[in-house]
Structures are given as C-alpha cells and as structure tokens.
Chain A
Amino acid sequence: MADAKEHLVEVRNLSVDFHTKGGTVAAVRDVSWHIDRGETLAILGESGSGKSVSSSALMGLIDIPPGEITSGEVLYCGEDLLKVSAERQREINGSRIAMVFQDTLAALNPVYQIGWQVAETFRSHGVDRADADPKALELLERVGLNNARARFNDYPHQFSGGQRQRIMIAMAIALNPDLLIADEPTTALDVTVQARILRLLKDLQRERGMGLLMITHDLGIVAGMADRVAIMNGGRIVETGTVKEVFETPKHPYTRSLLASVPGAAGFVDATVRPEHDETLLRVEELSKEYLSPASLFRAEKPAVLALDKVSFTLGRGETLGIVGESGSGKSTLVRTLIGLEQATHGDAFYRSDSLIHATREARDVARRQIQMVFQDPTASLNPRMSVQEIISEPWAIHPDAVPGSQWKARVGDLLEQVGLLREHAARYPHQFSGGQRQRIAIARALALKPEIIICDEAVSSLDVSVQAQVIALLKSLKEEFVLSYLFIAHDLPVVRSFVDRVLVMHKGTIVEQGPTRQIFTDPQHPYTRELLHSDPVLSLGNAPPRRRRLPSSDDPTPPPRPFAGAAKP
C-alpha cells in the first residue's frame, strides 16, 4: 500500500461527457493532475473550460445522467473514488476532502445561526453536543472572525461577504481535511478582502499541511498562491508545470494569449498619443448624496448615510477617466446620480454648460442624450424578449428625431459591424450570443444616439480575461473613431491600468486620490490607494519572490456605509 510515489489525490485520464437534448458535450477530455500534502495546485481556466469538472468528480457531485464518466480514475490515497460506494464517498466528503464555494450567501443556511452551523459540522461527525460549541468558537476565532464570541449567534445575512467566506472556511477545515478545494473562493469579493482571505487559506494550509486545490480564472491568484498550475481550455489541460515555469516560459499558444491579455500587462497608456482634453465635457461640482431613513411610527429617525461626499472632477473631450473603488465606495451612487436615477442632495454636474441635476426635465433629457451607459452584466441589461434589431433601435424609438424609421435596419447593421458583429445578427435574440458578444450589443446600443460620453459601469467585470481584453480593445478603437469620452467604473486597478488616462480612487463616498494613471500606479499618495495596489495579486506577476506584505488581518477595517441595513450589529 505505502507506495512512495503515491499522491494524496491523483486524477488520471478523466473524461466526462454530458448528454443533453442537443447532443453530447465533452466536458473534459483526458484530464490528469495530482496533488500532495502541503501543496497548492491551481486549475486555471475561463468559463466553460471544464475547470470545475474534475473536482466535482472527486466529490461525487457529477449528476449521472446527464453526465457520464467515460474514462479515467480519481485516486484518493490509492482508492478510486469513482468506484466506491455512495456511503464511503459521504465519509470522505467533508471530513477528508472539503470544499469552499464562491457564493457564500447561497452556501450558508439563512435560517440558522452561524455558530450552530459550524458546530453542526462537529455534531454530525459524532462530537458531543457540549464539546461542539467551544470547538466551533475556537475555529471561528482561528479563521479571524472579529468578535467571534459575540457574533456566534448571528445569522449569515448579518455578515459581509468576506466574513461569510471565513465562516465557510471554518466549516470546511473543521474536521482537518487532507485536501481543501476552493472553487473561485474570492471572485465575489473586493480586492482588499480577497487578499486577506487568500492569506488565511495559505496560513491554514501551512499550519495543517493540507493539500489546497484552487480553481480560478484569475492569473493573479495563481501567481500569488500556487506551487503548480494546470491551465485548462476547451476541456483539456493545455499546459501544466510550476507557476514559475508556466508564467516565465509559456509553451502553449493559449497560455501565451492568456498571459498577454492580463489586464494591465500592456503597460500604461502612452502619454504622447493622448488627444487634447482642453474641452471639458463633464464637470461635477461637490456632488453629494445622502440617504435618509425617515422616521416612522415605530422608529426614530436614523442618522443619514452619506453615500457621496462632495465629489468633484472633470472629464475632457476624448478622455478616459477611470473611477476605482470597492463595493460601498459610492461609485455606483455617483453614476446613478449623473444619469438621473438618483436625486443629488447637494452640488451639481454639468454637461458642457447644461446642468444635469437642476435643469428642467426637457433640458436634462437633451443633455442626457449625450451620455449613454454600458452596464456590468449584459445578460441582465438586454431585454431577453427583444431581438437585437429591436434592442439597438430602441433609443431611436424613444427619440424619434434621431434616425428616420426607414433607415433603422441599415443603421443597426452598421452599428453591429462597428462593434465586430455581423449584420445578420440583428434578427437574433440575446440568449443566442456569448457574454462578450452581448456586451458588444450593449455597446452598439449605447452608440446608437451618437453620444459624446459613455459611462462603462464595470462593463468588463463579468467577462473572462481574454474576452475582457477584446472588449477593451473595441472600446479603444471606438473611442478613436467617434472621439468618445469614457467614464470607466471598476472595482480593481489592473483593468484600468492599460486603458484609462486618469484614475480617480473612491473610498467611503469621497475621492481620496486622483491623477494620471502612471502617477497613481507608481507613486500612490493615499494609504487606501496603496492598499488597493498591494492587494492586487496580478501586479506581482513579474516579481520573482512572492510578496510578503503585512495586511490588517480583519475584514472591513473601514466598513462601507450600508444604507438600509436594518439589522446590522453594533
């Protein structure tokens, strides 16, 4: 039994098919990898690459049918998990192999206190009722949950995303598993929180000697965390090796294109090719937004939450301005106020010389035609019941003077070609396109009224890296063709690095720092900007020694203002 070459977990030549109504889909083909105790393996791939399939097979989570494992074996300490009984699989799951998921709100039961849920992990494996609670508390303290004792009986919705992920990790490591699978554990979190969670995982791994399998689409996480990496594309592992080997001398063309499309890899915008920004298009002056929760019969008036605090900036013609901030920083409120979805409490904003806030409705509408918007999630921002033709021509239906009806069809075709799609696509519906193509449709719609300013609200955040790069390239070329100005909202820095001319960093409703992109990245002044920069694993890609920076160990050292969070704990 005790073979010296035996790995903790080894997957050999795994192939999985999914039988669907539309035919058989090969999810993964001949996938092989292994992981030892104390080692971190990252499986890197974009959506649809099959990166989660092999770990699902390991946990027995593939539904059969429609799934079918056509070949291969999955060995845990020499035991083929594809052949074991369901009972044995349950024994291994949770206690020997544990998993941390991306969506923490869905993975925790909303109707039980978190302390109870963690203790339940112990109880279900035969620990005494009396012993379970202290053990759970100890564990919650170990994963760095603030005030674990006081918050033991709180419910999942009362915690922030980062805190919930800590609770999930506590439950996963409760029984000292040999292998911890983390499936996109930090994708839904802000960068500074992400950095802390990743550090916690690394520390726990060192402490307990677990194997750690990271499934991710983020090259930065791989660079900062993993010992070895397996890169997946189209259901196959295209390249595998140590992180250093793969990143420094990528052999497969896909790996090379992936590395090239890393946001920020292209360097800064070259200062010399910038168009002149003499003409100011948008001027925001001391814009503020307060959320009041009015007094009611049962509640005294609460103090107002200041979501925007005297924000001022300008946007020049042909300029790209990046607004960076984490959730709760007020960047969405800023956008919503500018486009008229929220009423500003104080201050004003001007398009050229027309006020966007205090003018009459008609005057505002005229000015706002020049400001169009591209939303984060193209699946949600396009009406699924409208064809592409209807979607793109909708602005003209709303503003009948823009384009005469007889030309709609031709103009939609032109716009589709301008954003890199085909004329024939006009007859299709949004669900027939991929995420990147849908975002192109949304961009075509934003262009329909020939605006001068386009607000991109996290417009590439929900896309895969390589698609992200394509969409950004499209935005760049459109900018040159139509002399557009962009207000580019993002929650992390690398995306804006190679695209925007100027960066504006927001934190807790105020602008903490603004300046040319190069200056912000090379010489940040504000401590928060520095923290943002250092939290970003991507930036350490080229650095040979992994970064060892002290970060505050708690989540949310400066909790974002949370308007309307009724039941928040003191």
Chain B
Amino acid sequence: MTMTAPPIVSSAEPSSLRVSLGLLWRDKFACVAVLFLLAVAFAAIFGPWLLGASATKINLMARNAPPLSMHLGWHYILGADALGRSILLRVIVGAQNTMMLAGCAVVISLLVGSILGFIAGFRNDWTSSLVLRLADILMSFPSLLLAMIVLYVLSPGLTNVILVLAITRIPIYLRTTRAEVLEIRERTFVTAARVMGASPWRIVWRHIRPTVTPTLVTIATLEFAFVMLSESSLSFLGLGIQAPEFTWGAMVAQGQSYLGTAWWVAFWPGLAITLTAMSLNLLANWVRIASDPVQRWRLESRKRTNG
C-alpha cells in the first residue's frame, strides 16, 4: 500500500535558501544589518590589500585634521589622527584585525563554553561538578585582571589576545547552556524521545541543541561588542594588539587622550564598533524568529501587509 503514495508538493516547494532570503526581505532592519555586515566583511577581506599602505602613511601636515572637510582629499573626510593618518582608511583597514580578533574570540568561547555547558547540564555526575567549579574559578577572577596577568607572562599578540579574551568569556556560555539544558531535558518531548530509545547524542543534537542555539547566538552577538571593547581596554594598557598592527578598539584607545580637542579620533572607530554590534544583534534577532516555527509567522505575515 506504500506504492500508492504519490509524491506531494515536492516540485512546488521552493529551495530553503530562497525561503530564507524571502523571510529576510520581510524584516527590513535585518536587511540593512546584513548589508552593513557585508560591507564590513568586504572591508575586512580586501581593505588591507587595497588600502594597507595609505592607511599607515603619516602626514604631519594633517595632524588631528577635523572631519567633513574635503580640502585634504576624500580620504580625510572623517578627519585624521594625531599622526595625520586618514581615519576613514584606518577604519576600513582595521576591520580585518578587529573582525578576526572579536570573531575568533567569540566563536572559540561560544564553542568551548556551550560544549562544556552541555556536558555539565546533561551529565549529573562528577564531570558536571568539575566543569562548574572550573567555571567558578574563572568567574571569580576579574576578567581584565586575568587577561593582564596572562598577557604579561605571554607576549601580547593577536593570537594570545584572542585566546585570553576567549577564555575569560567562556563561563557566560557555560552557565547559560547548562541552565537551559537542565530545563529542556525534563520536558516531555525529551522524555518521549528517550522512551523511543533515542541515544543521548541524538537527544542533545536533535532536541536540546536547536532549542538552546537561539539563546546562545543572541548572547554571542552581545559578547561581540564586549570583546571589541575589552580589546580596546587591553590596548589602552599596552597589552593589546601591538603597533603597527591596529584594531578599532586600539584606535578608540589612542583617541581617548584627544577627546577634548579632537573627538573624531575616537568617535569614528567607536561608531564602527557600535554599528557592527547592533547589526549583529538585529541579525541574531531575525535568526531567532526565522528558526522558530512558532514565531515564523511574524515574518511571514508581513508579506501580506507589504503587498
């Protein structure tokens, strides 16, 4: 009798990419955010290659040149820093280091933290206590102090800064993941899966992970901004990225001493950090809604009102 079953709607069903793009188009904020992030990504990939040389060129004639004036040429439109380097070009070129640093730190802490959180939440034995106590130790140190000690011992450089920032942010993910896992694994649909004979792996992967992911993604986007700013504090102390390398955070730190006389030195990289973090947040919000079948109608229903 299984022979009689005709294939249903498979031809009419659009591909999942098209569906996602359609849903994205219906959330205009998320659309703008994606466009901005694409621009940042483009700058991060091609910026140093195209503009690397001009971004480090020192022009003492243009020291602390104010923004929004064209008489020094288009690349001084956002002003210049204390050594007369173009802020516009430095923001574009600095995107690479910034994205690399914040991106890697966030991804590493997200992965390690959530995996440990799953272990701590799903296994109720000594491994759970061990993981939690380790997290407690990490959390009991002020993260900046920890970063300073580690970077003082090791040499400050891109890799070490990434590692230090990642390690200090792990407990956030660990605690959140564990709390969610503890709650979700008592839900009836998890019990139902266990009754069907599902392995622990399957329960974690198919039932618990999809429910936890949106929360973790939201935290990760918030953390992105935090990590960029932490890096600027480290730079301020001289323990961050070392010159001639620079990031948005390092630019903010440099501009801090000129805030009274030349606010734009710190303002533009700060704006870049804010906009990136905000775009990521809007995107995360869209992902959360689009990936939840119960919430998806909020996006789908906009189709009708928008025509």
Contact = CB atoms under 8 A, between A and B. Distances in A.
Interface of A: 21-22, 339-341, 365, 368-369, 372-373, 375, 377, 380-387, 394-395, 397-399, 407, 409-411, 413-414, 423-424, 426-427, 429, 431, 442, 445, 449
B198 A382 contact: no
Contacts of A381: 188-189, 191-192
13 contacts: A340-B195, A341-B191, A341-B194, A375-B192, A381-B191, A387-B293, A394-B198, A397-B202, A413-B5, A414-B2, A429-B293, A429-B294, A442-B192
Interface in B195-219: 195-199, 202, 206-207, 210-211
Q: In the complex, which of the residues B9, B187, B195, B301 has the most CB atoms of chain A within 10 Å of its own CB atom?
A: B195
Contact of A385 (B193, B198, B210): B210
A482 to B, nearest CB: 14
B216 to A, nearest CB: 15
Given A385-B210, A414-B2, A431-B294, A394 B8 contact: no
Contact of B192 (A368, A373, A384): A373
A21 B193 contact: no
B153 interface: no
B18 to A, nearest CB: 16
Contacts of A395: 196-197
Given A424-B9, A429-B294, A373 B195 contact: yes
Nearest to A380: B188
A339 B293 contact: no
* B contact residues, range: 20 to 34
A85 to B, nearest CB: 37
Interface of B: 1-2, 5, 7-9, 187-189, 191-199, 202, 206-207, 210-211, 291-294, 301
Contacts of B292: 384-385
A282 to B, nearest CB: 15
Contacts of A382: 189, 192
Given A373-B195, A375-B191, A409-B7, A21 B293 contact: no
Query: A-B pairs with the 9 shortest C-beta distances?
Result: A410-B5, A429-B293, A380-B188, A381-B188, A383-B189, A431-B294, A385-B210, A410-B2, A381-B192
A413 B194 CA distance: 24
B2 A407 contact: yes
Nearest to B202: A398
A394 B2 contact: no
A411 B188 contact: no
Given A411-B2, A424-B9, A398 B189 contact: no
Contacts of A426: 8
B197 A368 contact: yes
A410 to B, nearest CB: 4
B206 to A, nearest CB: 8
B270 to A, nearest CB: 38
A424 B192 contact: no
Contact of B196 (A380, A385, A394, A413): A394
Given A372-B196, A398-B197, A429-B293, A413 B8 contact: yes
Contacts of A414: 1-2, 5
Contacts of B294: 384, 429, 431
A419 to B, nearest CB: 16
Contact of A341 (B5, B195, B196, B293): B195
A384 B291 CA distance: 11
A423 B9 CA distance: 11
Nearest to A379: B188
B4 to A, nearest CB: 9
A563 B1 CA distance: 50
A382 B189 CA distance: 5
B197 A369 contact: yes
Contacts of A383: 189, 193, 206-207
A381 B207 CA distance: 11
Contact of B188 (A21, A377, A431): A377
Nearest to B298: A21
Nearest to A375: B188
A246 B301 CA distance: 44
A405 to B, nearest CB: 13
Contacts of B291: 385
Given A381-B188, A414-B2, A431-B294, A424 B8 contact: yes
A380 B187 contact: yes
Given A369-B197, A423-B5, A449-B196, 18 more contacts: A21-B301, A341-B194, A373-B192, A380-B188, A381-B188, A382-B189, A382-B192, A385-B210, A385-B292, A398-B196, A398-B198, A407-B2, A409-B5, A409-B7, A409-B8, A414-B1, A414-B5, A424-B9
Contacts of B194: 340-341
A416 to B, nearest CB: 11
Contacts of B5: 409-410, 413-414, 423
A430 to B, nearest CB: 8
**Which one of B189, B194, B294 has the greatest number of beta carbons of chain A within 10 Å?**
B189
Contacts of B1: 414
A221 B4 CA distance: 49
Contacts of B193: 383, 394, 398
B307 to A, nearest CB: 17
A427 B188 contact: no
A368 B196 CA distance: 8
Nearest to B194: A341
A418 to B, nearest CB: 11
Contacts of B211: 385
B198 to A, nearest CB: 5
Contact of B293 (A372, A385, A399, A442): A385
Contacts of A410: 2, 5
A395 B198 CA distance: 8
Contacts of B210: 385
A423 B189 contact: no
B66 to A, nearest CB: 49
Contacts of B206: 383, 386, 394, 397
Contacts of A423: 5, 8
Nearest to A432: B293
A442 B192 CA distance: 10
A410 B1 CA distance: 10
A424 B207 CA distance: 24
Contacts of B197: 365, 368-369, 395, 398-399
Nearest to A431: B294
A372 B197 CA distance: 10
Contacts of A365: 197
A460 B188 CA distance: 16
A410 B5 CA distance: 6
A429 B291 CA distance: 12
Nearest to B189: A383
A424 B6 CA distance: 11
A125 to B, nearest CB: 41
